Chains A and B, each alone.
Chain A
Amino acid sequence: MERKWGILLALPAMIGLVMFTVVPVIASFFFSITDWRIGNEMTVIGFDNYKTILTNDPTFTKSLYVTTYYSLFSVPICLAIAFMIAFLLNQKVRGLSVFRTIFYLPTIVPSIASTMLWLWLFNPDFGLLNSILESLGLPESRWIYDEATAIPSIVLMSTWSVGNTVIIFLAGLQAVPAHLYEAVEVDGGSAWRKFYHITIPSMTPTIFFNLVMMIIGSFQAFNQAYVMTQGGPNNSTLFYVYYLFRTAFTETKIGYASALAWILFVIVMTLTFIIFQTSKKWVHYEGSNK
């Protein structure tokens, strides 16, 4: 009886997964080996799309470069900032819940809305950021409108919405066993020793999780290009997923775009795999011998 109920109760989730994830995934792989353009007949062309992408598509190379560049900057910076915020929010100070709310608030704002907001902040003529620079006597920046500063600007923006990561870090910090801290105190260790020898090692599983999630997330950056820059100037913000979207729905090349999606999947899988492999060296689980 229990068994039946179990299956029945899990059924909606399973149906949902199959219908909205498994089937589309299989379908997209099939499309990727066809030359399907919206409105045309499709013919199976084998791995020609993949071949073209990997050998003869400068835009693919550019978008991969842009995305990697963004990822390399945004992931470490966001991770560090989120950790720092979580650490501060874990202190016992007055009005803690107010601070926690404030730092989490940007995450609740819909991504499109916050992107619009940053569009105003970045405005070279009337934007807040340039006003601040000006009042400090610093030279103004073109922010997202200049090839050189576009990606750094978007990285800056991404540090704003690290709320979810902060929450996970916070949970991790609160799970650090108190007796370990006490042991350091008994031995007369400083706050720094506590942080370096207890907090960091105990947090490595959380850091590991956030790292993986952030890398995946950063490779899927889309809204910034869609709302703010349309991939410009001169393709300097042509994120991979935005290029994929444009290929599918502006240039109508669904087959080609599906191949792009699969290549992205392989890239993200590989990265995740590598991180998992290295994790054995630096992630400590409580109770394990390593």
Chain B
Amino acid sequence: MLNLHKQRWLAVLMVFVLVGITACSSGNKGGNEASSSKPPSEASGSKLVEESAAPAEHVNLTFMYWGSNDEKKAMEKMIDSFNESHPNITVKGEHVPGDYNTKMNTLMAANQLPDVAYLGDALTNKWGSEGKLLDFSQYYGDYPELQNKLKASYLYTEPGKAVANFTALEVMVLYYNKEIFEEAGVPLPPSDPTKAWNWDEFVTVAKQLTKDKNGKHPGEEGFQEKSIDQYGFSFGSDRGTYGPLLESNGAGILDESGTKYALNSPESVEVFQKLQDLIYTHHVSPDLIQQQNMPDNHVRLQTRKVAMVLDGTWALLDLTNNKKLKWGIGVLPKLKEPKTVILAGTTVVFNSTKHPKEALEFYLYHNNPEQVDLYKTGLWMPTEDKYYSEEEAIKSWTDNEAHPAEFRQAGIDYTKGYAVKSPSTAIKNWPEINSKLAPGLDLIWTNKKSAQEALDELESQIQPLVQGVYPNE
């Protein structure tokens, strides 16, 4: 039993602990407020007006972004040089590891948004159409550079109202281990989009490169599908895989009008069935569970688990850094037309910013290939038109080991002439649609249902969520 004396000490201790906790948490709160730009709240409003009336105004901006360590370092370097060359503006970068969308949603709910930030395409669309993002088209006069980007890199929520630009371009391509191809005596995947493999050619090659532990290929006598040592091809289960193939087959998630679910159209079913067949009929691809548990794509290629992978151009960075791997880049196989999709995050300026001009100045700087070295290392591709058309400009970012010779065709020509925005980027209400779509597609990837069955069943779930599409210009 506790005696009274002891209890008193306990109480005092508890008070200290509680005070400590409260102090810490309020300290954190202060830190957050200081680091994120405050939207004009009632209390601080008047004071800020006074400040902005002063002649030598100093502007503070907050920039929020995600990304790997490489990206973080590059961004920090860019921010430093921006602050140096713009003495009246101080940008504070905030790197957010982990669940970025959750963080942004929370900041939006709390009204503590940064001035400039990376944003996923779905949130960009949503907030853009709700008027939370700066409409760039109003500033084309002041900042003509805003118009110099590739057409496909703009996101519009209403015709002509550009609310964002992709931070960098990324398209889906095919990477492969060169040594595997050379040893098997198989011609390398084409890098010229006009010479893209058709599906049958692709499957034939994938079969030649798939081996079980006895070195046998699928279709040969005694081939053991349970003990495959090397797969011909591996692909993810998300829009990065089915997106380009749908485009290539003239299919879409929604129909032409953007109002009707269309994944159960014959062209679309064909895409999903072909992917399912790669796993369960041709045995050239690991199933999605094996695939999820495999290491990163560059390691898969290096360790000869897989001969070809479907991935985005951002993977160039990791592939280049893997010195044990001799890799190459090619275009995706086609169904009808050679096509790929752009799948990238955007950078936006929030309407809540008090300094739209300075924010735009930073915006134009933050992904300028002259300031950021992420282009040369392979992580990013530029959004500005000239980097795809002018010889000097092309060389400035591709003349290095991250961009092998075949990148001219499989990267630049492919992006310029054959890349369209991922269909999901243009669809309204995509996060909700995807939260129904992904579990439904699991049935295809796990061979529980045929593509036709699974996609037919999804219609009743997804159709009520369809709200149309965003304009393309």
CB-based contact B109/A254 at 8 Å: yes
Q: What chain B residues lie within 8 Å of A13 (beta carbons)?
A: 14, 18
A137 contacts partner chain B, Cβ-Cβ < 8 Å: no
Partner of B293, one of A9, A125, A232: A125
Of the A-B pairs whose beta carbons lie under 8 Å apart in the complex, a sample of 18, sorted by A's number, is A9-B11, A9-B14, A12-B14, A12-B19, A15-B22, A39-B130, A39-B132, A59-B436, A124-B290, A126-B293, A147-B446, A231-B439, A233-B439, A234-B440, A249-B99, A250-B431, A250-B435, A252-B126
B438 contacts partner chain A, Cβ-Cβ < 8 Å: yes
B106 contacts partner chain A, Cβ-Cβ < 8 Å: yes
A188 contacts partner chain B, Cβ-Cβ < 8 Å: no
CB-based contact B435/A16 at 8 Å: no
Nearest CB in chain A: distance from B351 CB, A: 11
Residue-wise, chain A 7-35 has the 8 Å CB interface mask toward B (1 for contact) of 00100110110000000000000000000
Classify the secondary structure of A's interface with B: loop
A38 contacts partner chain B, Cβ-Cβ < 8 Å: yes
Interface residues of A in 244-261 (CB under 8 A from B): 246, 248-252, 254
Supposing A9-B11, A233-B446 touch, asked if A249 and B439 sit within 8 A by C-beta, the answer is no
Q: What chain B residues lie within 8 Å of A287 (beta carbons)?
A: none
CB-based contact A38/B15 at 8 Å: no
B interface with A by C-beta (< 8 Å): 11-12, 14-15, 18-19, 21-22, 99, 101-102, 105-106, 108-109, 126-127, 130, 132, 289-290, 292-294, 431-432, 435-436, 438-440, 442-443, 446, 448, 461
A-B interface pairs (CB < 8 A), number? 76
Nearest CB in chain A: distance from B190 CB, A: 32
Q: What chain A residues lie within 8 Å of B461 (beta carbons)?
A: 58
Q: Which residue of B lies closest to A13 (CB)?
A: B18
A222 contacts partner chain B, Cβ-Cβ < 8 Å: no
CB-based contact B15/A9 at 8 Å: yes
A142 contacts partner chain B, Cβ-Cβ < 8 Å: yes
Nearest CB in chain A: distance from B385 CB, A: 32
Supposing A9-B11, A39-B127, A40-B130 touch, asked if A124 and B439 sit within 8 A by C-beta, the answer is no
CB-based contact B439/A234 at 8 Å: yes
Task: Give the docked Cα–Cα distance between A251 and B290 (Å).
Answer: 29
Q: What chain A residues lie within 8 Å of B290 (beta carbons)?
A: 124-125
CB-based contact A38/B108 at 8 Å: yes
Interface residues of A in 109-138 (CB under 8 A from B): 123-126
Task: Give the docked Cα–Cα distance between A248 and B431 (Å).
Answer: 12
CB-based contact A249/B101 at 8 Å: yes
CB-based contact A232/B431 at 8 Å: no
Q: Which residue of B lies closest to A10 (CB)?
A: B11
CB-based contact B442/A232 at 8 Å: yes
Q: What chain B residues lie within 8 Å of A145 (beta carbons)?
A: 289, 292-293
Chain A residues with a Cβ closer than 8 Å to the other chain, count: 30
Q: Which residue of B lies closest to A143 (CB)?
A: B289
Supposing A13-B18, A39-B126 touch, asked if A251 and B109 sit within 8 A by C-beta, the answer is no
Task: Give the docked Cα–Cα distance between A231 and B440 (Å).
Answer: 12
CB-based contact A12/B105 at 8 Å: no
CB-based contact A38/B109 at 8 Å: yes
A235 contacts partner chain B, Cβ-Cβ < 8 Å: yes
Nearest CB in chain B: distance from A239 CB, A: 14
Task: Give the docked Cα–Cα distance between A146 and B445 (Å).
Answer: 11
Given contacts A16-B21, A125-B290, A234-B439, 13 further A-B contacts (CB under 8 A): A9-B11, A9-B14, A12-B19, A15-B22, A38-B108, A39-B130, A145-B293, A146-B289, A232-B439, A233-B439, A249-B101, A250-B435, A252-B431
CB-based contact A124/B293 at 8 Å: yes
Q: What chain B residues lie within 8 Å of A126 (beta carbons)?
A: 293
Q: Which residue of B lies closest to A126 (CB)?
A: B293
Q: What chain A residues lie within 8 Å of B12 (beta carbons)?
A: 9
The 3 closest A-B CB pairs, nearest first, are: A12-B18, A145-B289, A249-B102
Q: Which residue of A lies closest to B122 (CB)?
A: A250
Task: Give the docked Cα–Cα distance between A147 and B448 (Å).
Answer: 10
CB-based contact A234/B443 at 8 Å: yes
Q: What chain A residues lie within 8 Å of B127 (beta carbons)?
A: 39
Nearest CB in chain B: distance from A24 CB, A: 13
Task: Give the docked Cα–Cα distance between A145 and B289 (Å).
Answer: 6
Q: What chain A residues lie within 8 Å of B15 (beta carbons)?
A: 9, 12
Residue-wise, chain A 88-114 has the 8 Å CB interface mask toward B (1 for contact) of 000000000000000000000000000
Task: Give the docked Cα–Cα distance between A250 and B461 (Å).
Answer: 18
Task: Give the docked Cα–Cα distance between A248 and B443 (Å).
Answer: 26
